[in-house]
Amino acid sequence: MNFSAGVNTGNEGIYWLNRILKSDPLAAVVMITAYSDVNLAVKAIKEGATDFVVKPWDNNKLITTMQSAFKLRQSKIENKKLRDRQKQINKGISKQYTPLIGKSQPMGNVLQVMKKVARTDANVLVMGENGTGKELIVKEIHNNSRRTDEVFISIDIGTITESLFESEMFGHIKWAFTDAREDKTGWFETASGGTLFLDEIGNLTLSMQSKLLTAIQNRVIHKVGSKTPIPFDIRLICATNKNLEEMVAKNLFREDLYYRINTIVIGIPPLRDRGEDIILLAEYFLKEYANKYEKFSLKFNSKTLDKLMDYNWPGNVRELRHTIEKAVILSDSDILTPDDFILSHSTQQISDQEKSPTFAEIEKQALQIALSNNNGSVLKASKELGLARQTMYNKMQKYNL
């Protein structure tokens, strides 16, 4: 590190360290000096050195140091390959997503907030009904963020059992539990540097919520079976179709976690509230599937568009996409008519009298009739319904009878 007699600043070595790393950022550089100065060692490591060796050295320790540096070099190369691969995967995934289509006021509000938050690292909570395109919004936030060239990891929380939550999210070391036959990297560590998207966050149990909150607060994780803290750097985005405020009020969702994940809340409007966006999306999907199934001249007639506009779309954009695809596949002419679209729900607002009663409503009514027939006698009413008396009391309490 020092090439001038009497000079122990290490500047000459630091200069060449920087030149080497500029030429090859993946290089593993071991610094050697006769001056065992702690400050010099710290400076070298901060500048990017892999290790620091003081003369005279022990041969075995030197060999071990060089072997470690070599392994680190190989690891850096492998990580770069994985990140490059992820970039390609991200590009491929982006091509599969529907572009953000919409000129309605509700969608305009969403896009405005999305653009403002994308360039920050603020935690975002995306809320909306199933099929509204929550993951599409999340992906757009990532693509327009400073982390766009880093990994994007999407996790469906609903698919992770409570027993495997820590292993999946934080990783584990070999033999941490019976089936842990090798070390495993968790999603937090994998996503470090990029974006971690936790879908259906409302499905977390209180125990899982507590573990997630600890990680988010401390910005470190511990693999199962290990006490070594692993720092991470992620952009956290969560999504749900549930009302988390109601869940907090019912003690089903931790209030402290709720406020951790919702620095910015983006509410995605249902398709039925997006007006002419329905037509814009229908035209886009028609073009997509007409090309896919080689029916290039397919068009809607005006009555078909009216029918699509009048429908309530309970399945939102996802249902519209599937409906258009099915119509394109089954069409026999170049014009898609209203008859080509068999919509599964009524387009009319159903009155309370016309709605099919729920099981709870039917059960309550049966209890009321039985009690009325038996002048309020619980014992006789329970016998009429074939219920145990205690069961009858429980159901009466349930329905406030």
Report domain extents, the chain. 1-96, 103-269, 274-340, 359-398
Tally of CB atoms within 10 A around 78: 10
Residues linked to residue 220 through DSSP beta bridges, in sequence order? 231
Residue 269 DSSP code: P
Rg of the chain taking only CA atoms, in angstroms = 31
Residue 371 backbone zone (phi > 0: left; psi -120 to 50: alpha; other: beta): alpha
Task: List own/partner pairs for 73-79 with CB under 8 A and 24 or more apart.
Answer: 73/26, 73/27, 73/28, 76/26, 76/28, 77/26
Tally of CB atoms within 10 A around 52: 21
Residue 313 DSSP code: -
pLDDT of residue 203: 94
Give the Cα separation of 71 and 53 in Å (integer).
17
Do the domains spanning 1-96 and 274-340 agree at the CATH topology level?
A: no
What's the CATH code, domain 274-340? 1.10.8.60
Q: Could you name the CATH architecture of 103-269?
A: 3-Layer(aba) Sandwich (3.40)
Give the Cα separation of 55 and 192 in Å (integer).
37
pLDDT of residue 366: 78
Residue 271 DSSP code: G
Q: Do the beta carbons of residue 174 and residue 180 sit within 8 Å?
A: yes
Both tokens assigned to 209: 């919520």
Give the Cα separation of 230 and 154 in Å (integer).
21
Residue 81 carries which side chain, given as an amino acid letter? K
Give the Cα separation of 39 and 190 in Å (integer).
33
Q: Do the beta carbons of residue 282 and residue 302 sit within 8 Å?
A: no
Question: 148: Cβ–Cβ under 8 A, 6 or more apart, which residues?
Answer: 142
What's the CATH code, domain 359-398? 1.10.10
pLDDT of residue 382: 80
- Of all helices (H) and strands (E), which one includes residue 229? strand 229-231
pLDDT of residue 395: 79
pLDDT in tens, the chain (401 residues): 665 545 566 678 888 899 999 988 889 999 888 776 778 888 888 889 998 888 888 999 999 999 999 998 998 888 877 776 666 555 545 445 667 898 999 999 999 999 999 999 999 999 999 999 999 999 999 999 999 988 899 999 988 999 999 999 999 998 888 888 888 889 999 899 999 999 999 999 999 999 999 999 999 999 999 999 999 999 999 999 999 999 999 999 999 999 999 999 999 999 999 999 999 999 999 999 999 999 999 999 999 999 999 999 999 999 999 999 999 999 989 999 999 998 875 444 433 444 456 667 777 777 778 787 777 888 888 888 878 878 877 778 777 77
Residue with token string 């070595």: 13
Q: Is 16 helix (H, G, I), strand (E, B) or coil?
A: helix
What's the CATH code, domain 1-96? 3.40.50.2300
pLDDT of residue 399: 74
Alpha-carbon torsion, ordered 50, 54, 60, 66, to 10 deg: 20
pLDDT of residue 392: 79
Q: Do the beta carbons of residue 172 and residue 184 sit within 8 Å?
A: yes
Tally of CB atoms within 10 A around 74: 12
Q: Do the beta carbons of residue 112 and residue 102 sit within 8 Å?
A: no
Give the Cα separation of 169 and 176 in Å (integer).
15
